[in-house]
Structure 1
Amino acid sequence: MQEGASLTSFAASIDVSRATINVWMNEHPEFLEAANAGKAKCAAWWEKVGRNIALGGGGPGASTLAVFGMKNMGKDDWSDSTQVDHRSSDGSMTPKAPVYNITDT
């Protein structure tokens, strides 16, 4: 993982499924910590790739690959985020019914 590989790639390298890795992380806190350390190393690798591309280029598609790598492997630091506020103008979650003024003409 210190060379940019995912947990799924790690699972394949030890001949288990990603689901098995997830079970191990849920059942063994020390394994969860090791997996999180691996994820941090993976994210650091992708950031380094992105910096190298920013400084010197990387050929066709390289920057796109680096962006996806950083967003997916280091999503806490490199994700796009959008926040939508669904509250009404008074701060409640229930929109107020419109008020119509009807006058006779």
Structure 2
Amino acid sequence: MASPKSDNPIGRPSLYKPEYCDLVIEVMQQGLGLNSFAAAAGVSRRTVTEWMEVHSEFAEAVSRAKAFAASWYEMQQKKHVEVGGTSSQATLIVFGLTNLARTDWQSKAAIEVEHSGTISHMRDMSDAELEAIVSSAYLERK
């Protein structure tokens, strides 16, 4: 009789348990990260990443948990604005938000470049051509 097929056919059986979906949310609702969840589950952070790749329900739970953690940091930010706090606290809040909710809290620098004409390598240009470019750029800034 054949043995039942396993998600992990080689090596030790997985330590994954479906209840970890609830635990990851519970841990991260406190503003903690996946390392804290790994410690609570008694596994390495690498194992958590592997579970996310193998168990779609766990990956979805982690995604929701990250939203809860970002919400925790947003609440800390609101509290900081309302009652005050130290610059170190503000830095930690910004760090948490930019890492957990990049889409909403990313610092962006936009650079727009307008160009018309042909792009040449500077090494192929004559001194007169380079001087003309520098002069026109200088005049545009005035």
Structure 2 counterparts to residues 1-105 of structure 1, below 5 A: 1-59=28-86, 61-83=88-110, 89=115, 95-98=119-122, 99-100=125-126
1:39-92 Cα deviation digits (max 9, x unpaired): 01000000110111012102352211211111122222112133567x893599
Q: How many angstroms apart in 2 are the aligned matches of 1:12 and 1:71?
A: 23
For normalisation by structure 2, the TM-score amounts to: 0.59
Higher CA-based Rg: 2
Q: How many angstroms apart in 1 are the aligned matches of 2:108 and 2:46?
A: 27
Task: Determine what percentage of the aligned residue pairs are the same residue.
Answer: 35
- The structure whose RCO (Cα within 8 Å, separation 6+) is larger is 1
- The number of equivalent residue pairs is 99
For normalisation by structure 1, the TM-score amounts to: 0.78
How far has the Cα of 1:19 moved from its partner? 0.7
Stretches of structure 2 lacking an aligned partner (at least 5 in a row): 1-27, 130-142
Q: How many angstroms apart in 2 are the aligned matches of 1:21 and 1:83?
A: 35
How far has the Cα of 1:34 moved from its partner? 0.5
* Larger helix share, 1 or 2: 2
Q: For residue 66 of structure 2, what is the amino acid of its counterpart?
A: K
Q: How many angstroms apart in 2 are the aligned matches of 1:16 and 1:10?
A: 9
Stretches of structure 1 lacking an aligned partner (at least 5 in a row): none
User: In 2, are the aligned partners of 1:88 and 1:96 still within 8 Å (CA)?
Assistant: no
